[in-house]
């Protein structure tokens, strides 16, 4: 059966993430200790013993989720001997997908994630913004609401039919939520996030991240990676770099990505990393049916 590996993004973290694998697998322990050394902090101490609040900071969350996801993909016994036909990741998860497919080396990917997280954290502090989930409206209706708002607010995550996350300046996001409710949305709820991810408010992070991506070796992946910006399978290293940078301010086209993977033959989706959010999204996008969905998270 054609299998797709999918990797979660920010918000899927939980206290204790990765601890079980660290204690049971010498290879996992080695990778995690290499990450601690490269990052210059004991990230595993925060992952294993930190609180929800400790894990929420963008510059901690992103490396932690990447590390957990990547180590699971390489070391979990249930995945031994398996090779996906395609990979994809939601936002931050795209770095995990690229590393799992061999396009990025482990240390290179971790270094890029750290730079991305640090630069996005700076944006959050310098240009405050937020995000909100809008449920029960069409993509087109939400897009029109964003256009009609005074201030910066854009669709950020096309998560599943009828579920879009919008992102931008707080007042504009709140205005869009009010307009969405008036238009019949079942819910329009501001999310407890640190900034306006996948919006123009992340533009100040582009220079440093772009320079880092350009200086990083990207190899042809072992299988196609379905990137967020285009929802298309990509194997060209030049295009991978271009899309990875564009993703910073562009929306995550998750619904279209899953549809394209199914059209290309995916009969099984395996979510690798903390949480199970992507499994739920895939079920809503595909309608379940004959598609197999599983998770590997500890």
Q: Is the dihedral of CA 232, 236, 240, 246 positive or negative?
A: negative
Question: What single DSSP character describes residue 160?
Answer: E
Q: Is 160 a catalytic residue?
A: no
Are 265 and 2 contacting, i.e. CB atoms less than 8 angstroms apart?
yes
- Which of the residues 12, 96, 198, 257 is marked catalytic? 198
- Which of the residues 12, 91, 167, 257 is marked catalytic? 91
Helices (H), the chain: 19-24, 26-39, 43-49, 52-56, 58-75, 93-100, 106-126, 139-147, 170-182, 206-214, 237-246, 254-263, 277-286
Are 179 and 148 contacting, i.e. CB atoms less than 8 angstroms apart?
yes
Q: How far apart are CA 67 and CA 16, in angstroms?
A: 13
Q: How many CA atoms lie within 13 A of 247 on its CB side?
A: 29
Q: Is 91 a catalytic residue?
A: yes
Q: Who contacts 230 (Cβ-Cβ below 8 Å, separation ≥6)?
A: 243, 253
Beta bridge partners of 252: 157
Provide φ and ψ at 288, rounded to 5°.
Answer: 75, -105
Angle between helix axes 58-75 and 93-100 (nearest 10 degrees) is 30
Are 270 and 235 contacting, i.e. CB atoms less than 8 angstroms apart?
no
Three-class SS state of 234: strand
Q: Which residues are catalytic?
A: 91, 198
């Amino acid at each position: 059966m054609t299998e797709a590996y999918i990797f979660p993004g920010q918000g899927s973290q939980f206290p204790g993430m990765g601890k079980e694998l660290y204690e049971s697998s010498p290879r996992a322990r080695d990778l995690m200790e290499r990450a601690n050394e490269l990052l210059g902090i004991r990230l595993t101490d925060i992952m294993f013993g930190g609180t929800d609040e400790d894990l929420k900071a963008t510059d901690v969350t992103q490396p932690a989720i990447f590390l957990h996801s990547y180590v699971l993909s390489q070391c979990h016994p249930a995945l031994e001997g398996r090779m996906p036909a395609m990979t994809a990741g939601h936002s931050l998860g795209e770095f995990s997908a690229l590393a799992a497919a061999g396009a990025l080396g482990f240390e290179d990917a971790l270094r890029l994630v750290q730079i991305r997280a640090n630069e996005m954290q700076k944006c959050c502090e310098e240009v405050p913004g937020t995000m909100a989930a809008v449920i029960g409206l069409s993509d087109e209706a939400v897009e029109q609401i964003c256009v009609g708002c005074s201030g910066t607010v854009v669709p950020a995550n096309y998560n599943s039919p009828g579920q879009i996350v919008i992102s931008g300046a707080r007042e504009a996001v709140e205005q869009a939520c009010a307009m969405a409710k008036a238009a019949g949305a079942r819910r329009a709820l501001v999310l407890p996030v640190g900034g306006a991810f996948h919006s123009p408010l992340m533009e100040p992070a582009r220079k440093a991240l772009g320079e880092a991506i350009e200086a990083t070796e990207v190899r042809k992946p072992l299988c196609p990676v379905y990137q967020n910006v285009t929802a298309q399978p990509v194997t060209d290293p030049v295009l991978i770099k271009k899309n990875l940078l564009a993703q910073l301010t562009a929306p995550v086209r998750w619904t279209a990505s899953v549809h394209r993977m199914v059209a290309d033959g995916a009969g099984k989706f395996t979510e690798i990393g903390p949480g199970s959010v992507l499994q739920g999204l895939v079920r809503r996008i595909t309608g379940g049916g004959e598609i197999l969905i599983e998770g590997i998270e500890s």
